[in-house]
């Protein structure tokens, strides 16, 4: 196989994983990134004052059902078990998210029978197709309206002045419904976060003799015409 010089723009997860695969095939990879660090939006670093790991561009939780993917990342990082559970507070009461049977129990303040969820929602599992139905046909609208009226004073400021109906329509089009009492945000077998951070993981993936990385380098098609590279 003939070795090629390949240019990859972007030193995030995708760019670095592709680079590693090609480097192991004998190609010479040059990665450029306009930022001053690798990792893309997964970049993290420890706060110098507290030593707390900070996800600079927002929190990232690694989750997948693909065992091959999980085995790949665990070659480059020790993964700590982490399950994301989200709570919301409304009028001093704490609710579980995404909306599930436990949330409904909390809202109604009485147990809903596990065997009869169809009285509240039409089918088992995460209700995706149900979210496309007309608002007037959705069985939880009355409960949602009741909930919203409890906090109706907050609706104008939090919804840009929308009407209650418009607010509900938007809310119900994006919210998830799960007909179990499990409050795990992701329904995947493998979940966790790298113990030393995503940046260290990506550095490990990029650690190959055929890979070079240049930071604070923007891609300029005009300037790259003289480079005999394949651009990804």
Q: What is the CATH number of the domain that holds 71?
A: 3.40.50.720
The confidence band for 82, taking pLDDT boundaries of 50, 70 and 90, is very high
Same domain, 118 and 139: yes
User: What is the average pLDDT across 33-46?
Assistant: 96
Mean pLDDT for all residues in the chain? 78
Range of the domain at 125: 86-178
What is the DSSP track for 3-18? --EEEEE--SHHHHHH
Same domain, 68 and 55: yes
pLDDT at 92: 86
Same domain, 171 and 202: no
pLDDT at 126: 42
The confidence band for 163, taking pLDDT boundaries of 50, 70 and 90, is low
Q: Is the pTM of this model over 0.75?
A: no
Same domain, 31 and 95: no
Structural domain count, the chain: 2
Tell me if 207 is assigned to some domain: yes
Angle between helical axes of 13-24 and 198-206 (0-180°, round to 10): 30
Rounded to whole angstroms, how far apart are CA atoms 9 and 19?
A: 10
The confidence band for 49, taking pLDDT boundaries of 50, 70 and 90, is very high
């Amino acid at each position: 196989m003939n070795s090629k010089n390949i240019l990859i723009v972007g030193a995030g997860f995708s760019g670095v994983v592709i680079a590693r695969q090609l480097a192991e095939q004998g190609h010479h990879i040059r990665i450029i990134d306009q930022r001053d660090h690798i990792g893309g939006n997964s970049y993290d670093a420890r706060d110098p004052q507290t030593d707390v790991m900070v996800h600079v561009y927002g929190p990232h939780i690694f989750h997948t059902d693909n065992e091959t993917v999980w085995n790949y990342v665990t070659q480059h990082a020790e993964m700590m078990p982490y399950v994301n559970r989200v709570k919301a507070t409304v009028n001093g009461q704490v609710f579980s998210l995404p909306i599930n049977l436990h949330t409904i129990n909390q809202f109604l303040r009485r147990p809903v029978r596990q065997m009869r969820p169809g009285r509240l929602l039409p089918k088992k599992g995460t209700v995706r197709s149900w979210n496309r139905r007309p608002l007037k046909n959705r069985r939880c609208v009355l409960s949602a309206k009741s909930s919203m009226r409890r906090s109706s004073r907050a609706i104008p400021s939090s919804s840009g002045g929308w009407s209650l109906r418009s607010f509900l329509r938007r809310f119900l089009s994006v919210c998830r419904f799960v007909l179990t009492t499990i409050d795990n945000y992701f329904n995947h077998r493998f979940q966790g976060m790298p113990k030393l951070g995503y940046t260290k993981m990506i550095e490990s993936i990029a650690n190959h003799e055929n890979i070079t990385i240049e930071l604070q380098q923007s891609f300029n098609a005009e300037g790259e015409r003289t480079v005999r590279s394949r651009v990804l």
